[in-house]
Amino acid sequence: MNSNIEGHSHHISQQFNAELEDVKNHMLEMGGVIERQIADAMCSLLEGDSGLAGEVLSVEDRIDSMEVSIDEECTRIIAKRQPAASDLRLVVAIAKTIADLERIGDLGKNIARRSFQIEGNLPPKKLMRGLQHLTDVSLEQLKDGLDAYATKDIDKANAVWERDDEIDSLYTSLFRELLTYMMEDPRNITYCTHLLFCAKNLERIGDHVTNLAESISYMITGNYEMAAEEAM
């Protein structure tokens, strides 16, 4: 009798672990879709590709659907399994993270829409270099954040959190550079304004990735503020 009970408990435990792994993988899949969306949005802007911008906008429904599905998975796990300790923290962290990922997707959508505004009136390449660099760092931060989630790597999560200062500095520098171009020649005002909005969106993406890193800290340690305390 005891062996049957132990066998049944082991089977339930395996099912539960599989459900937790599935919901985490679905969240990481959503992150991968959004990572590609941001890269394509910036490519459409930097190359004046309105067709690619349209493809970016078409991904919105898929991202929204993924968020709803994952949120339902999290709710179902909590209601059915009543997880505790680290398992509960994992589910709560994922539920919080998908909201941040959805917001990142919205920011990518905003960038893509700017592509239509400056189509056929691309600014000089020298104006794009700073924006490209900010894009590269933001995308790398997002990728590292998702990798830290996949591997439960608290050190990598802290590195992602700390890198937000670099993104803020790059944004400030680019903001000043674009303002200078606008003051030098009024003809630069229109597209520089669009680039400023895009740069701000990238800076805000960095903020959401910082939230993601803090969720990883909570998932592993139970403390959202761990990264902040270690950085002080």
CA-closest candidate to residue 28, choices 181, 215, 170: 215
Q: What angle (nearest 5°) sits at the alpha carbon of residue 92, between those of residues 91 and 98?
A: 90
The answer to whether the beta carbons of residues 133 and 199 sit under 8 Å apart is no
pLDDT tens digits along 43-87: 998 888 889 999 999 999 999 999 999 999 999 999 988 888 889
Question: CB of 205 within 8 A of CB of 100?
Answer: no
pLDDT, tens digit, for every residue of 33-51?
Answer: 999 999 999 999 888 888 9
pLDDT of 230 over the 60 cut:
no
Q: How far apart are CA 230 and CA 213, in angstroms?
A: 13
- pLDDT at position 217: 93
Structure tokens at 29: 């899949």
- Cα–Cα distance measured from residue 67 to residue 30, given in angstroms and rounded to the nearest whole number: 8
In percent, the amount of the chain with pLDDT more than 70 equals 89
Residues 6+ apart with CB under 8 A from 211: 96, 97, 100
Distance (Å, rounded) from C-alpha 131 to C-alpha 42? 9
Which domains, and CATH codes, for the chain?
2-231 (1.20.58.220)
User: Tokens 């229109």 belong to which residue?
Assistant: 190
Q: What is the mean pLDDT of residues 133-152?
A: 94
Average pLDDT, the chain: 88
**What's the pLDDT score for residue 229?**
44
Radius of gyration of the chain (CA): 21
Q: Report residue 64 as tokens.
A: 């929204």
Instruction: Give the three-class secondary structure for 84.
Output: coil
